[in-house]
């Protein structure tokens, strides 16, 4: 019945969680507000904020779980991928604690943890399952045969789905991160108002950079006949007016296209593998259009679909804790000289 303390610090969330025998007792997340004014995460500032947050966040997680530090059997941390300075803070803290408590250290791959977030709830998928992991940095379709055996079937060749949301939101003049705002305005709009092109990428890989460019040209032409061409007919003022007057329809149409790109590939992956247990994970799985689209598609295709609760969709230590729990059961521990890595092999 292991109790795991987990730490997540790969990007701009400092998070700690306690998991006892596969049940999450606490999941504390401190979101760094400092980046908002810069329109994206500033790595140097992220590291500093992690340094400030990590002690209170861990204290809070332990207290909320109602346990004592001496009850902890293993310490899990995000080893990769992520911002190196940010990862170093969590890794060093986890190592120090492992040394002080004389407990094993467990290194967790952030993207595998997003997938295994689907095992947190009692209503969980059975193996094998497919997971569409969509975040600000990644877009992947993963075949998960067991907590220790996962395979990437397809991934983005350029921007991630979250980046597609955030970058187009920026073109609309919305603040970072724009994904949730596109979602919000899309609720009032017509998803078929503007038809953005779907990229033709073979297999199960994704591409979003062409979509972003077509939206850029569309806006620079203020929705005129030359929608996706590099002929800029609109003045700055006309472009702004067009966006103001049509924001809901533009957001709904962008969201509709991103969601259709994601779900069409998921259908392909399900057909290729014959798997009907289908999950989504990562920050973009908070998107209401994607959640609704997945449910509807699941009903149509005879899939069982799973979406983690919101707090386990965006970056969080709960998913690191559940992954750490399975690694603990498998005796898969890290040495104390392990180093974090910005990029990571699967």
Residue 154 backbone dihedrals phi, psi, to 5 degrees:
-160, 155
Distance CA 83, CA 344 (A): 12
Torsion of CA 20, 24, 26, 29, to 10 degrees: 130
Pick one of Zn ion, ligand KG4, none as the site partner of residue 90 (Cβ within 5 to 8 A by kind): none
Site string for Zn ion, 286-315 (x = CB under 5 A): -----------------------------x
Question: Which of 165, 242, 312, 328 is close enough to bind ligand KG4 by CB under 6 A?
Answer: 165
Residue 32 backbone dihedrals phi, psi, to 5 degrees:
-85, 115
Which of 95, 11, 20, 101 has the alpha carbon at shortest distance from 53? 11
Say which DSSP state 33 is in: G
Question: Which positions ≥6 away from 17 have C-beta within 8 Å?
Answer: 5, 6, 8, 24, 25, 26, 27, 28, 61, 316, 317, 318, 320, 321
Of all residues in the shown chain, the one whose CB is closest to ligand KG4 is 283
Q: How far is the CB of 176 from ligand KG4 (least distance, A)?
A: 8
Site string for ligand KG4, 295-314 (x = CB under 6 A): -------------------x
Q: Whose Cβ is closer to ligand KG4: residue 69's or residue 310's?
A: 310
Which of 106, 6, 108 has the alpha carbon at shortest distance from 333? 106
Task: Give, as ranges, the residues between 130 and 159 that touch ligand KG4 (CB under 6 A).
Answer: 135-137
Q: Is 40 an interacting residue with respect to ligand KG4 (CB under 6 A)?
A: no
Q: Is 293 an interacting residue with respect to ligand KG4 (CB under 6 A)?
A: no
Cα 218 from chain centroid (whole Å): 28
> Residue 323 in contact with residue 113, Cβ under 8 Å?
yes
> Residue 112 in contact with residue 149, Cβ under 8 Å?
no
Pick one of ligand KG4, Zn ion, none as the site partner of residue 177 (Cβ within 5 to 8 A by kind): ligand KG4
User: Candidates 27-35, 85-93, 232-240, 278-286 — which segment interacts with ligand KG4 by CB under 6 A?
Assistant: 278-286
Q: Is 282 an interacting residue with respect to ligand KG4 (CB under 6 A)?
A: yes
User: At 31, is the secondary structure helix, strand, or coil?
Assistant: strand
Site string for Zn ion, 121-150 (x = CB under 5 A): --------------x---------------
Q: Is 283 an interacting residue with respect to ligand KG4 (CB under 6 A)?
A: yes
Q: How far is the CB of 39 from Zn ion (least distance, A)?
A: 19
Q: How far is the CB of 78 from ligand KG4 (least distance, A)?
A: 10
Residue 135 backbone dihedrals phi, psi, to 5 degrees:
-135, -170
User: Candidates 95-103, 177-185, 193-201, 228-236 — which segment interacts with ligand KG4 by CB under 6 A?
Assistant: 177-185
Torsion of CA 329, 109, 314, 155, to 10 degrees: -120
Site string for ligand KG4, 98-137 (x = CB under 6 A): -------------------------------------xxx
Which of 144, 18, 10, 155 has the alpha carbon at shortest distance from 86? 10
Site string for Zn ion, 13-32 (x = CB under 5 A): --------------------
Q: Is 162 an interacting residue with respect to ligand KG4 (CB under 6 A)?
A: yes
Task: Tell me the Ramachandran region of residue 21: left when phi exceeds 0, alpha when psi lies from -120 to 50, beta otherwise.
Answer: left
Interaction site with Zn ion (CB under 5 A): 135, 315
Interaction site with ligand KG4 (CB under 6 A): 11, 135-137, 162, 165-166, 177, 179-180, 183, 282-284, 286-287, 314-315
């Amino acid at each position: 019945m292991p109790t795991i303390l987990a730490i997540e610090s790969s990007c701009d969330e400092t998070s700690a969680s306690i998991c006892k025998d596969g049940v999450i007792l606490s999941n504390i997340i401190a979101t760094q507000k400092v980046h908002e004014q810069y329109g994206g995460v500033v790595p140097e500032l992220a590291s500093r904020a992690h340094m400030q947050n990590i002690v209170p966040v861990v204290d809070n997680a332990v207290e909320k779980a109602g346990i004592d530090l001496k009850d902890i059997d293993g310490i899990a941390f995000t080893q990769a991928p992520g911002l190196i300075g940010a990862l170093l803070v969590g890794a060093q803290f986890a190592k120090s604690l492992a040394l002080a408590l004389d407990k094993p250290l467990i290194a967790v791959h952030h993207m595998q943890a997003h997938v295994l977030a689907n095992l947190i709830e009692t209503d969980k998928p059975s193996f094998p399952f497919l997971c569409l992991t969509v975040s600000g940095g990644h877009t992947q379709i993963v075949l998960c045969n067991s907590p220790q055996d996962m395979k990437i079937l397809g991934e983005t060749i350029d921007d991630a789905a979250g980046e597609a949301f955030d970058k187009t939101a920026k073109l609309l003049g919305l603040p970072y991160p724009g994904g949730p705002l596109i979602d919000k305005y899309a609720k009032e709009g017509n998803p078929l108002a503007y038809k953005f092109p779907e990229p033709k990428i073979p297999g199960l890989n994704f591409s979003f950079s062409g979509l972003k460019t077509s939206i850029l040209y569309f806006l620079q032409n203020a929705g005129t006949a030359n929608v996706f061409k590099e002929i800029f007919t609109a003045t700055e003022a006309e472009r702004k007016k067009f966006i103001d007057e049509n924001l809901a329809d533009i957001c709904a149409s962008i969201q509709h296209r991103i969601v259709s790109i994601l779900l069409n590939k998921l259908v392909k992956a399900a057909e290729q593998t014959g798997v009907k247990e289908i999950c989504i994970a990562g920050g973009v799985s908070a998107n209401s259009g994607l959640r609704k689209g997945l449910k509807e598609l699941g009903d149509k295709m005879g899939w069982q679909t799973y979406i983690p609760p919101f707090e386990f969709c965006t970056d969080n230590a709960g998913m690191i804790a559940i992954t750490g729990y399975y690694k603990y059961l498998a005796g898969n521990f890290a040495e104390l000289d392990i180093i974090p890595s910005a990029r990571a092999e699967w």
